[in-house]
Structure 1
């Protein structure tokens, strides 16, 4: 597996828009609130998850990225939906059309991060009907889908 795949691509193509595969996980607490992370790059909230590295499956990516973003080890309960409409514009000028596989997950270990990391400033559970400013429309679409289907 090649880590840093996106950085390698960006070194070659600069800010040219890319089509990238990613994953996200829905983790709901006992109050039916969903866990979101406050991102360091865009300073808004998103579902824990991220881009696939070369050679990685959606499921492998989700468990790796969920741990990086939240500190939690998760188990996939089930696939929820594939979202193929979405664009993310980053502050550095990068643009990506994202194809995102959404999963329902449950924690099986680890602990929620209590300090900021390279990718996460904070973690918080939010009610589905009172969400903070989100990374993009695709995150909003994933959260709306999850609210209606879990």
Structure 2
């Protein structure tokens, strides 16, 4: 069911609602995380977005990652579920998001070189030098991914 979120918003307006999202974290060889500069809020976030009706968290991650970055990815592992906090968007929408975060690796595609309707640009950032983020949940997910990577590299 395409445009599921738009259909829901047409019914409830800007009323706060709970939505499910999925995001991916891609780390380069310099141990930097890829983030996208969003067109709606003009701050940075992990590539990802809302589940459409009938999708799983993993398939949403793959679709949204491609839409936001231009990169085809494969899920390596699920890092966690994040359900704390809410986001208020410039258009007046408010949502509490339940987000699944996946570690992903690139398998094709190319990094977007032009702005799209969702992404102004993409860039890699050091974990300890992040730009202004969309919300606290994105900060929490990036922190959890950093801990995940440190733990899993230490066990190899």
Q: Same fold (TM over 0.5)?
A: yes
Aligned length, in residue pairs:
149
Cα distance, 1:148 vs structure 2: 1.1
The answer as to 2:46 corresponding to 1:82 is no
Output the CA distance in 2 between the equivalents of 1:86 and 1:45: 17
Tell me the equivalent position of 2:101: 102
Q: Secondary structure at the match of 1:16?
A: coil
Show the counterpart of 1:68.
67
**Structure 1 range deviating more: 82-91 or 116-125:** 82-91
Provide structure 2 residue ranges, at least 5 long, that are not aligned to the other structure: 150-156
Q: Distance in 1 between matches of 2:62 and 2:80?
A: 17
**1:52 matches 2:86:** no
For normalisation by structure 1, the TM-score amounts to 0.98
- Map of 2:37 onto structure 1: 38
Instruction: Give 3-state SS (helix, strand or coil) of 2:92's partner.
Output: coil
Q: Which runs of 4+ in 1 moved over 6 A?
A: none
Shift of 1:86: 2.4
Matched, 1:112 2:111: yes
- Partner Cα separation in structure 2 for residue 120 and residue 108 of structure 1: 20
Q: How large is the Cα RMSD of the aligned pairs? A: 0.5
Q: How far 1:149 sits from its partner (Å)? A: 1.1
Deviation digits for residues 29-59 of structure 1 (CA, Å, limit 9, x no counterpart):
0000000000000000000000000010001
SS, match of residue 6 in structure 2: helix
Task: Supply the distance in 2 between the matched residues of 1:25 and 1:88 (Cα, whole angstroms).
Answer: 19
- TM-score (structure 2 length as normaliser): 0.95
Gap runs ≥5 in structure 1: none
Alpha-carbon separation, structure 1, partners of 2:27 and 2:85? 23
Offset of 1:89 from its aligned partner? 0.6
For 2:148 and 2:62, how far apart are their aligned partners in 1?
21
* Structure-2 separation of matches of 1:52 and 1:86: 18
